[in-house]
Chains A and B, each alone.
Chain A
Amino acid sequence: GQSLEQPSEVTAVEGAIVQINCTYQTSGFYGLSWYQQHDGGAPTFLSYNALDGLEETGRFSSFLSRSDSYGYLLLQELQMKDSASYFCAALTYSTLTFGKGTMLLVSP
């Protein structure tokens, strides 16, 4: 089966840097995606890593190590609006399998 593990909650202050880790056990793995969800609303796509290494998109970066079945999302210069749930998701041939999500709380 497919499983992804990520911390349930992370707290940080405005302006700080936070890293959300994700380990996965997935057969037929294509790549790792990250999604943001504010208060139960529509999840929005943040990033996708198919190859090992770091992908940077503005304040957000995502990393993948296929050999370690591990990835992380790095959020820099945290803002209050970054308070949300972040889900890692493994892409296989037919679908995305999601982790249980990490709630990020950003305080002033």
Chain B
Amino acid sequence: GEEVAQTPKHLVRGEGQKAKLYCAPIKGHSYVFWYQQVLKNEFKFLISFQNENVFDETGMPKERFSAKCLPNSPCSLEIQATKLEDSAVYFCASSRGESGTGIFGYTFGSGTRLTVV
């Protein structure tokens, strides 16, 4: 399809619980990106994939965050032992690739709102 599908739309977790978010990128887009947005402010880059390979993970808090993009499966972002500060909207985006990333931009999903209580 022509949209990036993120599930679930909302997720509530108690502190210390695990959270798993999913993203189905647009078919034919070879790059996937995860961003965190707190209180509608700036987007914090977490990780990117080129197909199923990690492309850039410089934004990932590695102790508790992990992500995967496996063939024929939605990409996933997992947070172990959630903390209150993890409460945010997590956006997934996909793009056509290096040559098309600028001109066509990223296509974002509608996000998953994670609330840690």
Contact = CB atoms under 8 A, between A and B. Distances in A.
A66 interface: no
Contact of B105 (A30, A41, A48): A48
Nearest to A30: B102
Interface stretch (A12-20, A69-77, A95-103): A95-103
A42 B109 contact: yes
A66 B109 CA distance: 30
A16 to B, nearest CB: 24
B39 to A, nearest CB: 9
Contact of B40 (A31, A89, A101): A101
B48 A94 contact: yes
A43 B101 contact: no
Given A91-B101, A94-B55, A45 B106 contact: yes
Interface residues on B, range: 20 to 34
A85 interface: yes
Contacts of A85: 40
A100 B41 contact: yes
Contacts of A95: 33, 45, 48, 56
B25 interface: no
A27 interface: no
B108 interface: yes
A33 B105 contact: yes
A98 B43 contact: yes
A37 B93 CA distance: 14
Nearest to A50: B102
B105 A42 contact: no
A83 B101 CA distance: 26
Nearest to B4: A42
Nearest to A99: B42
Q: Which 6 A-B pairs have the closest CB atoms?
A: A45-B105, A94-B56, A98-B43, A100-B42, A42-B108, A42-B110
Interface of A: 30-31, 33, 35, 37, 40-45, 48, 50, 85, 87, 89, 91, 94-101
